[in-house]
Every structure is written in structure tokens, then in C-alpha cells.
Amino acid sequence: MPLTVQKIENGTVIDHIAYGAGSQVLQVLSSHYPISKMGALILNAPSKKFGRKDIVKIEGVFLEEMVANRISLIAPDATMNIIKGGKVVDKYHVELPSSIVGVVKCPNPKCITNLERAQTTFSQVKGGHLRCRHCERLFRPLELA
């Protein structure tokens, strides 16, 4: 069956999301942007790297760095394609940032950031783990997503 790709005019195509993680990416996006109005779409597509992959397309949205950082926790291999006037004008790989400030909650319920609603800061340490600067616990990126 041929894949129908809905073309977007201006917006972002997030490619190379692991199969099944597309809905989680969409959830993050919808907490930042009114994407239900803009039309977002998940496609399951064949991928050489993953076997199958998810692609998320969002019309009218260009991601802020903070949101791209959150997406890198869920989809560390994702590629962002910036579309303007129906053409790809920019393309970049998401990267897990060396620190994430105020974007995600600490999964440790006893962490001061949860008790006092303080801003969280996570720093990347060896092995791709992230350490909470307040309770010093280590987490895998997906645990913070």
C-alpha cells in the first residue's frame, strides 16, 4: 500500500522517531502548542534503521529549543525538518542538551523541586544519564520524558 504523505506548507516534520513513540511526542507538543487546531499527524513508516518509525508533522509550528529538548528525551534520534513554503529550509538532529532547566519534573517524589515547586535542573552525565541538581539522583532520559 503506498504511503500517503500529507504535505505541509509551513511547519515542522519530526522524522526518525522510534515506532510507537510518536503519540508521546505529540503529547509533549500539545502541552506547548494548540496543535489540535493546526493539524498534526503521525505516520508509521518503514525505516532502515528501526524497521518501522513514526513521523510527526505539524502545520504552523516551529519548535522552541525548550520543546525540542523535551522531544530529545523521548526521541533521541529524531530529525527536525523545518518547512517553509512547502520546502525543507532547515534540518537538524535533536540533541540531548548538557543541561535541562525548568522543562521537566523530577521523578523523585521526595525531591525538593516537587515539594516546593522549585525549578528543576538536570545535567547530563557520562553514559547519557541525567542528574537532578537538587536530589542528585540519576535518571535515564526516557524517565524524564
Interface residues toward Zn ion, by CB under 5 A? 106, 108, 111, 132, 134-135
CB of 6 to Zn ion, least distance (A): 41
Buried/exposed code over 82-112 (b: 16+ C-beta within 10 A; e: otherwise): bbeeeeeeeeeebeebeebeebbebeeeebe
The three-state DSSP-derived secondary structure of 75-98 is: CCCCEEEEEECCEEEEEEECCCCC
CB of 135 to Zn ion, least distance (A): 3
State which residue, 42 or 135, has the beta carbon closest to Zn ion: 135
Q: Give CA–CA dist 121/14, Å, rounded.
A: 26
CB of 104 to Zn ion, least distance (A): 10
Distance of CA 120 to the CA centre of its chain: 18
CB of 69 to Zn ion, least distance (A): 17
Phi-psi region of 103 (alpha: psi -120 to 50; beta: other; left: phi over 0): alpha
State which residue, 58 or 106, has the beta carbon closest to Zn ion: 106
State which residue, 86 or 109, has the beta carbon closest to Zn ion: 109
- Residue 79 grid coordinates: 530529525
State which residue, 41 or 135, has the beta carbon closest to Zn ion: 135
